[in-house]
A and B are shown apart, each in its own frame.
Chain A
Amino acid sequence: MSRYFTEEHEWVEVEGDIATVGITEYAQQQLGDVVFVDVPAEGKQFDKGDEAAVVESVKAASDVYSPVSGTIVEGNDVLADEPALVNTDPEGDGWFFKLELSDASELEGLMDEGAYKKYVKGL
């Protein structure tokens, strides 16, 4: 099990060929209080970089991109009623969606935790 990060502040946790995607602690801090989350439905297919979910805070609405290509196996429906989970536990219970990887080699282009921390520091 390993975790990857993108420059758009998404994280990906991979277990077998299933990837769980959410936004990072840094992203939730920048967004402020999240008030609405729209997660994709099961069966939807995304290419790497496609807009897969929407997150709205009191400050702004942002797209969440799919960091890898694949087919959605589950969206986190809890977020519809409890968008605050994205603020309180962004890298745990506040995950957005799980997808079945179609090309595991795409993970190679992503950052690991150390590289992401460095990247955020430079912002």
Chain B
Amino acid sequence: MSMNNQGRPTRQSVDDAGGVQQTSTGNRALMLEEALIFEISDSTRTGVDLMDAPKVASRLGGLERKAAIGLPGLSEQETVRHYTRLSRQNYAIDLGLFPLGSCTMKHNPRLNEKMARLPGFADIHPLQPIHTVQGALAVIDELGEWLIKLTGMAGVAMSPKAGAHGELCGILAIRSALEARGDKRSVILVPESAHGTNPATAAFVGYQVEDIPANPDGRINLEALIARLGPDVAGVMITNPNTCGLFERDLKTISDAVHEAGGFVYCDGANFNAVVGKVRPGDLGVDAMHINLHKTFSTPHGGGGPGSGPVVFSEALAPFAPLPFVERMDDGRLALIEEESAEDHHASSFGRMVAFHGQMGMFTRALAYILSHGADGLKQVAEDAVLNANYILRSLEDVLDAPFAGAGPCMHEALFSDAGLADGFSTIDIAKGLIDEGFHPMTVYFPLVVHGAMLVEPTETESKAALDQFIGALRSVAERAKAGDASLHSAPHFAPRRRLDETLAARKPVLVWTEPAAEQAEAAE
């Protein structure tokens, strides 16, 4: 066993500590160096004291495992320390502003957590008798009603487990609706300003994907889209607000044209936070839209929890929504509509996407969030999210190139490009410099329509003081990149690990830990 704190290629070099001598342990005061769990473990230690297994006659026909299984051996305390130390090297929304564009990393209110942990929601099983889980079903039902109301749609599927899963649900419903009328359409149109998962979803369902170009102002080229419509187009997938942080003003015109041509409109609702309570997608002619509960309705994500992507449907698509779903009976009881019970009144359903009902914990959190905000509070969420993004856009447009800033206010996210940086400097240098300043970087190199894109989404939950701190940090890094400060090329200098060689990591990935050869030889003796 050895603490490998010298030979690791990703360690910061002595120079990075500003000439200060490296410590003997590799630790830097409270910033503790941590080896891989396999490097600090050995087979003589264990966290639990299990009895020897009794001798039993094997029925495995010689297939019993003979060699060691290779699990690390550590005491409970060592295990707890290992993961706690690693967690301290991480960045999280509970530590600071998380500006990742298109991710809506807002604060997750603790009230939501308290509600989700109530035993009546947390400790139930999907196969429990239905009369014992009426409260949980009521949460699903009420949340569904809220989503329908907020979007102005006709129906909702609660079971999809994340955004892209919701997209799949929506496109499957479109395919089912077309098949039901015997219409063989093979093309889905996806504008350049849409999320990257959209074309992947359409292709996964078996459609040919065709790009629709963007206008110089960052929005869909309306003429190009309408010109492409025809009897082979099953539908369009539009992200609104789009990945340039702009509202697609022509959405209603587009929807009318698509419907006229016999197609359907899918809206990627990942950026719904910018318009929740202000705009109802149903009024804009959308046929299906997923809602990321883990973005707009503040359920944890980004390593903190599973996603959840309910899909709302128009009258035209609602009959094809997946099973199972919750329905309120005439006597007020809640029932589950599944394969058997669907035959008489939901026979067109395209089927089942998941084993049970979706992410119960996320439903509870999202409903707690909605109820604690109320309709007026949700409206203010959208207004403040947009205000915060515009504050960032206007505070930095003098130092960073903002390609669409001239087109008016942005929505929930501010988009910058790498134009104007000194020769040889790119977006990656700014992102890494921000790490040294103590911030998680923004989304970089996406959307592709902007060169060296930097996409910043502050969300409504940041105070002006927090925004000012972030703006100050980004301004200082941007000024260094414009002045050609060479030290930015090797940033971060103060992070637990130095800048990684992404090319080497991608070309020659090391995916598993292997015991150093020397130790293997020693063990063999």
Contact = CB atoms under 8 A, between A and B. Distances in A.
Contacts of A35: 503, 506-507
Contacts of A33: 502-503, 506-507
B445 interface: yes
A58 B503 CA distance: 6
B3 interface: no
A58 B448 contact: no
16 contacts: A33-B502, A33-B503, A33-B506, A33-B507, A35-B503, A35-B506, A35-B507, A36-B506, A56-B506, A58-B503, A58-B506, A59-B445, A60-B445, A60-B448, A83-B507, A84-B507
Nearest to B509: A35
Contacts of B506: 33, 35-36, 56, 58
A87 B443 CA distance: 25
Contacts of A36: 506
B305 to A, nearest CB: 28
Interface in A83-110: 83-84
B403 to A, nearest CB: 15
B interface majority secondary structure: helix
Interface in B476-525: 502-503, 506-507
Interface of A: 33, 35-36, 56, 58-60, 83-84
Nearest to A83: B507
A49 to B, nearest CB: 12
B355 to A, nearest CB: 32
Given A33-B502, A33-B507, A58-B506, 12 more contacts: A33-B503, A33-B506, A35-B506, A35-B507, A36-B506, A56-B506, A58-B502, A58-B503, A59-B445, A60-B448, A83-B507, A84-B507
Contacts of A60: 445, 448
Contacts of A83: 507
A51 to B, nearest CB: 11
Interface in B427-453: 445, 448
Contacts of A59: 445
A83 B503 CA distance: 11
Nearest to B452: A59
Nearest to A30: B451
A83 B445 CA distance: 21
Contacts of B503: 33, 35, 58
A60 B502 CA distance: 12
B260 to A, nearest CB: 29
A59 B443 CA distance: 12
A36 B506 CA distance: 8
Nearest to A36: B506
Nearest to B426: A32
Interface in B112-148: none
Contacts of A84: 507
Contacts of B507: 33, 35, 83-84
A30 B31 CA distance: 38
A59 B506 CA distance: 11
A64 to B, nearest CB: 16
A84 B506 CA distance: 11
Q: Which 6 residue pairs across A and B have the least CB separation, nearest first?
A: A35-B506, A33-B503, A58-B502, A35-B507, A59-B445, A58-B503
Most chain-B Cβ atoms within 10 A of its Cβ — which of A33, A58, A60?
A58
A76 B507 CA distance: 17
Nearest to A35: B506
A59 B503 CA distance: 10
B500 to A, nearest CB: 10
B426 to A, nearest CB: 9
Nearest to B451: A30
Nearest to B427: A59
B70 to A, nearest CB: 29
A66 to B, nearest CB: 17
A59 B428 CA distance: 10
Most chain-A Cβ atoms within 10 A of its Cβ — which of B445, B448, B502, B503?
B503
B266 to A, nearest CB: 23
B443 to A, nearest CB: 13
Most chain-B Cβ atoms within 10 A of its Cβ — which of A36, A59, A83, A84?
A59
A58 B502 CA distance: 7
A60 B507 CA distance: 14
A56 B507 CA distance: 10
B182 to A, nearest CB: 29
Contacts of B502: 33, 58
A19 to B, nearest CB: 26
B213 to A, nearest CB: 13
Most chain-B Cβ atoms within 10 A of its Cβ — which of A35, A36, A56, A60?
A35
Contacts of B445: 59-60
Nearest to B502: A58
A115 B448 CA distance: 26
A55 to B, nearest CB: 13
A31 B445 CA distance: 11
Nearest to A59: B445
